[in-house]
Structure 1
């Protein structure tokens, strides 16, 4: 009986220690500062600026590649399947839309963004607004997932994956802060 009481006291003491550990882990918020936050944000904003142009101007097609690695992929989920495009193909398609007269003005801006980074790898979730041929009305809104790598020349986009807001897929308030 005496051994049973000692074991029971030990078990209760251990259980109290575990509960205290769980409580302290839950109540202590984990804070994280992205080391290259401003440089990653700038790289993404520069990529948006490179594809944007005003009415009467011509897009800076040659400049777009400066913000991406040469092997970059752009993955679009406008439909139920991923449309995967290499950077040179994307630039060619964009040129055709502009030269064929489909686009007279294109402006894309970030409405919300947040970075994550580990070493030379980064991710930016970025809610975007797109204006097409006029700044008076929003043509499209959606969410981009930018993957970036740190190169000797700074942060470059290695891929962008995006989906477009629609009636059955609204951008959640979480991405509109």
Structure 2
């Protein structure tokens, strides 16, 4: 029973992570960003690779520019979703590995892409939280 609860909580955290990256009205995006902050540890580290030198972000350094991009009209009709994933849990740590896809309109032109993400999670008194994330896009 506890394992199923863990799986449910981890799946919800992963879903919240992906749902955050959906364009739309500013209040809706802001609500999703609040939810994203809630599933990330305040000290979480997020790393982007994508063929260059890795770029590391703290929570606010990661969220703020993405929230602006999703609401300022530069990126519209955008969404990102998990294609396939798996989770492994050991005690109070978990790892979620997945592939994902994204699509939208950027600067008036359709765009799409795919990639892979890794999320590390830890059990806290408030439930499972993402402690680290990294991603790489297909080139």
| TM-score normalised by the chain length of structure 1 | 0.65
Q: Distance in 2 between matches of 1:152 and 1:138?
A: 40
Tell me the equivalent position of 2:53.
Answer: 81
Alignment pair present for 1:150 and 2:120: no
Query: Unaligned stretches of 5+ in structure 2?
Result: none
Structure 1 residues 108 and 117, CA gap change in structure 2 (3 angstroms)? same
TM-score norm. by structure 2 comes to: 0.82
Confirm whether residue 64 of structure 1 aligns to residue 26 of structure 2: no
Deviation at 1:100, TM superposition (A): 4.3
- Larger gyration radius, structure 1 or structure 2: 1
3-state DSSP class of the match of 1:64?
helix
More deviation in 121-130 or 43-52? Answer: 43-52
State the Cα RMSD in Å: 2.1
Aligned to 2:7: 37
Contact 1:51 1:64 in 2 (8 A): no
> Using the alignment, how far apart are the partners of 2:138 and 2:121 within structure 1?
23
Q: How many residues align?
A: 129
Distance in 1 separating the partners of 2:116 and 2:126? 27
Q: What are structure 1's unaligned runs of at least 5 residues?
A: 1-33, 167-177
Higher relative contact order (CA 8 A, sep 6+): 2
Q: CA deviation at 1:74?
A: 1.0
